């Protein structure tokens, strides 16, 4: 029975929305157990309004919580007893099998990296963002954990993301693309060129460079980039999606467009647009795994609603049940070994 600790004070609408999402996750996953973490005077009234604690829902008090706008370093230094720090410590102590927070991303990444340490062979953490695309998402990695990357970090991002897709979605040999300004091998800055060389030598199913317009097609399953670029891509995609659908909604609110009476078609068009919009809704996946640190750690969007929180917790369950942490260590070890082998062969040839 998976046991997950949830930061009840993580997100824009705390503590009610994380708690509502937790209750919904318990309803959808009969074998799940949760521990809500946060200040008693804030969390327990919200819990009571949703039905109260029970055999599968426990509570642990912490006197502090990290605000969304706080500096990650200052938050960890000045608030050692925050709900965010506590769930990470619970993962370190292995009193829980997984943790989830929709709070301050920088603080969560820093806490996991410092307190949990990295898996064997992994240098830096990375956020594997599921980007909506058909039946299975494309994974964009890194989504913002590590804004300054080296070629080896991008290689690890590729290996870990491919392992995630293999373990959770059953894709045996995920196709990996390197985000660049062109598809040609010699395109891009030094980081892109050196990462391309490592990925080519890695033994992974590397499809070469991909461009921004490949993000939502089926050419690859994983798109690798540094965290700065990945976060810009994420926020740009979210902003564009919101703009497009709000513009369409504004037009549909009119009685006619271009002289055409929309009256008879409004309901049908509205239903169709809602169905399309749902395919691009981040709440479908709810959260993104933080790959690299020891343990199962999931990050949620700050503006997550009840459904997004529920789905993020559900995905955390799936990661726990898949035992994919062991596969991560093996995958990173294999790509590290392949690079060392190429280097040895090169030295022998010279």
Q: What's the pLDDT tens digit per position in 225-269?
A: 999 999 999 888 888 878 887 887 787 777 666 666 666 666 776
Average pLDDT of the segment spanning 21-25:
97
Q: How high is the pLDDT of residue 269?
A: 67
Task: Say what the pTM is.
Answer: 0.89
| Separation of alpha carbons 157 and 222, rounded Å | 9
Tell which CATH architecture fits domain 128-282.
3-Layer(aba) Sandwich (3.40)
Report which of residues 235 and 206 the model is more confident about.
206
Query: How is residue 141 written in tokens?
Result: 């990695």
Query: Do the first three CATH levels of 1-122+292-350 and 128-282 match, i.e. the same topology?
Result: yes
Look at residue 135 and tell me whether its pLDDT is greater than 80: no
Q: How high is the pLDDT of residue 185?
A: 84
- Extents of the domains making up the chain: 1-122+292-350, 128-282
Average pLDDT of the segment spanning 174-190:
92
Judge if the upstream peptide bond of residue 45 is cis by omega within 30 degrees of 0: no
What percent of the chain is modeled with pLDDT above 90? 71
The CB density around residue 258, as the number of other CB atoms within 10 Å, is: 6
Fold of 1-122+292-350: Isopropylmalate Dehydrogenase (3.40.718)
Q: How high is the pLDDT of residue 49?
A: 96
Nearest to 70 by CA among 97, 110, 31, 126: 110
Report the chain's mean pLDDT, rounded to a whole number: 90
| Separation of alpha carbons 268 and 314, rounded Å | 32
Nearest to 100 by CA among 339, 318, 348, 313: 313
332, containing H or E segment: helix 324-349
Look at residue 270 and tell me whether its pLDDT is greater than 80: no
Q: Are the C-beta atoms of residues 33 and 3 closer than 8 Å to each other? A: yes
259-277 as b/e: b if 16+ CB within 10 A? eeebeeeeeeeeeeeeeee
């Amino acid at each position: 029975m998976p046991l997950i600790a949830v930061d009840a004070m993580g997100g824009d609408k705390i503590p009610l929305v994380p708690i509502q999402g937790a209750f919904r996750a318990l309803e959808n996953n009969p074998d799940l157990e949760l521990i809500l973490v946060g200040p008693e005077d804030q969390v327990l009234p919200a819990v009571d309004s949703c039905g109260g604690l029970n055999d599968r829902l426990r509570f642990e008090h912490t006197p502090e919580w990290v605000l969304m706008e706080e500096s990650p370093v200052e938050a960890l230094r000045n608030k050692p007893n925050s709900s965010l720090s506590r769930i990470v410590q619970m993962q370190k102590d292995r009193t829980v099998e997984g943790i989830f927070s929709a709070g301050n991303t920088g603080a969560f990444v820093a806490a996991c990296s410092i307190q949990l340490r990295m898996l064997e062979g992994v240098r830096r953490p990375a956020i594997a963002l599921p980007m909506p695309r058909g039946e299975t998402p494309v994974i964009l990695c890194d989504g913002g954990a590590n804004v300054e990357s080296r070629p080896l970090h991008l290689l690890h991002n590729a290996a870990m993301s491919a392992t995630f897709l293999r373990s959770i979605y059953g894709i045996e040999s995920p196709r990996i693309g390197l985000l660049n300004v062109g598809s040609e091998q010699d395109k891009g800055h030094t980081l892109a060129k050196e990462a391309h060389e490592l990925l080519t030598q890695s033994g992974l199913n590397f499809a070469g460079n991909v461009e921004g317009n490949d993000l939502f097609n089926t050419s690859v399953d994983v798109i690798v980039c540094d965290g700065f670029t990945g976060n810009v891509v994420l926020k740009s995609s979210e902003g564009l999606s919101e703009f497009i659908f709000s513009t369409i909604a504004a037009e549909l609110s009119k009685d006619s467009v271009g002289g055409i009476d929309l009256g008879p078609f409004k309901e049908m068009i509205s239903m169709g647009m809602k169905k399309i919009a749902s395919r691009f809704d981040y709440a479908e996946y709810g959260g993104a795994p933080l790959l690299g640190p020891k343990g199962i750690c999931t990050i949620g969007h700050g503006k997550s609603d009840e459904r997004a929180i529920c789905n993020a917790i559900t995905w955390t369950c799936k990661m726990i049940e898949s035992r994919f942490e062991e596969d991560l260590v093996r995958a990173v070890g294999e790509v590290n070994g392949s690079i060392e082998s190429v280097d040895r062969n090169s030295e022998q040839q010279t």
